[in-house]
Amino acid sequence: MNPKTIIATGGENSRLDKFLSTILSDLSRTQIQKMIKDGLVLVDGQPSKAGWKLNGCETIVYTIPEIEPEIEHIEPENIPLDVLFEDDDIIAINKPPGLVVHPGVGQKSGTLVHALTYHFSQLSNVNGQLRPGIVHRLDQNTSGVILVAKNNQAHADLASQFEQRKIQKEYTGFTWGNWTAPNGIIDGSIKRKRSDPTAYEVNESGRHALTQYQVEVDGSVLSQISFFPKTGRTHQLRVHAASMHHPIFGDDKYGGGVKRTKGFVPEITKVLTQLLKKINRHALHARKITFQHPSTQEEVAVSAPIPEDLTLIIQAMHLLNG
C-alpha cells in the first residue's frame, strides 16, 4: 500500500468519490467510498467525506488498500518448514524472516499457507480457504514462533486465548541506543498514520496497546531488549520501540534504518552499514509463546532459537558499544 498524490484538477464542483472514480477506474464507487471512510483518502492533509465538493485545487493523497487476491484455492508448495511442535491439534512453526504468512496483494504464492497445505493434510478452515490454520500473524520480516491450528475446535480455543490476552508472547529485539530504565511498561495507544496509511503511530485516539520490556544488554549504539506484548496491535513492538526513541535496528519504516548510522565515527558507521546489509530486515524475533493446550488444558511453551542473522548483531555489539 503506497500512498499516491494527485491534484484535483478538473474536479471543480464534483463529489470527492465521483472525482476519484474517474482516476481509479479499476475500483468501484463502493470501494472508493470505503477507502474514504477508512481514512485512506486525505484532502489537503485531512480526512474527508465521500460527498465533499471539490474546488479543483485540492491536494489529494490516496492509498489503495490490500485486496484479497483472486485465488480460488491454495496450490501447495514444497517450501521447507522448521516445525517446533506438533500434535493432533496444533503446529508451531519457526517462521524465517521474509516469509509472508498468507496471500495478499502482490503475494499470491510462496507464503506460509502454501507451505502448510503441502506438509499438512488437516488444517482449520475458520478463516476461509486462503488462510487455513492461521490463528495469528507475524510481520513478513519478523522471525520466530507462530501457532497453526489443525482443526476448528483448536482454532476457536486459541483465538479465544489471544482475545482474552491469556497467551504469553516473548520477543527479542535489537534497538538503537541505550535505554534509561532497565525495565518498564510502554502504554501507548496505536493508530494508523494519516500521512502514511501503511504505518502506525502512538496516538491517544488509537487502540489501547501495552508492552512490557526488559533491557538484556544496554549499549551506547545498540541494545538487546526482551519485549512482552500484552496486546496484539499491528506493528506494536516496532511502534512502541520507536516511540521511546529506540527504533528496532533495520526498521526503515520507523526510523531504524541506514539513516540512523550517521553521526558515528567512520569505523562504527561501516560496521553498522554492513550489518544492515547482511540482515536486510528489522531485528525482531518471536522467541517464545506460552498457551493452554486446547485439548489437555496443560500449559505449553514453545521456543525458537535466535536465528543466524541476528547472532551477527550479538557478535558485533561488543565492538560497537565499546
* Active site positions, annotated: 139
Partners of 174 in the beta sheet? 224
Kindly tell me the burial class for residue 20, based on how many C-beta atoms sit within 10 Å of its own C-beta (0-12, 13-18, 19 or more). buried
CA–CA separation, 303 vs 45, rounded Å?
Answer: 44
CA–CA separation, 239 vs 253, rounded Å?
Answer: 10
Say which DSSP state 79 is in: -
Burial 107-144 (b: 16+ CB within 10 A, else e): eeeebbbbbbbbbbeebbebbeebbbbbbebbbbbbbb
Residue 94 has a CB neighbour count (10 Å cut-off) of 21
Q: Are 186 and 213 in contact (CB under 8 A)?
A: yes
Cell numbers describing residue 192: 494508523
Cell numbers describing residue 59: 491536494
Sort strands 83-86 and 59-62 into parallel, antiparallel or unpaired: unpaired
Which of 172, 250, 248, 257 lies closest to 215 in space, CA to CA?
Answer: 172
Cell numbers describing residue 151: 482443526
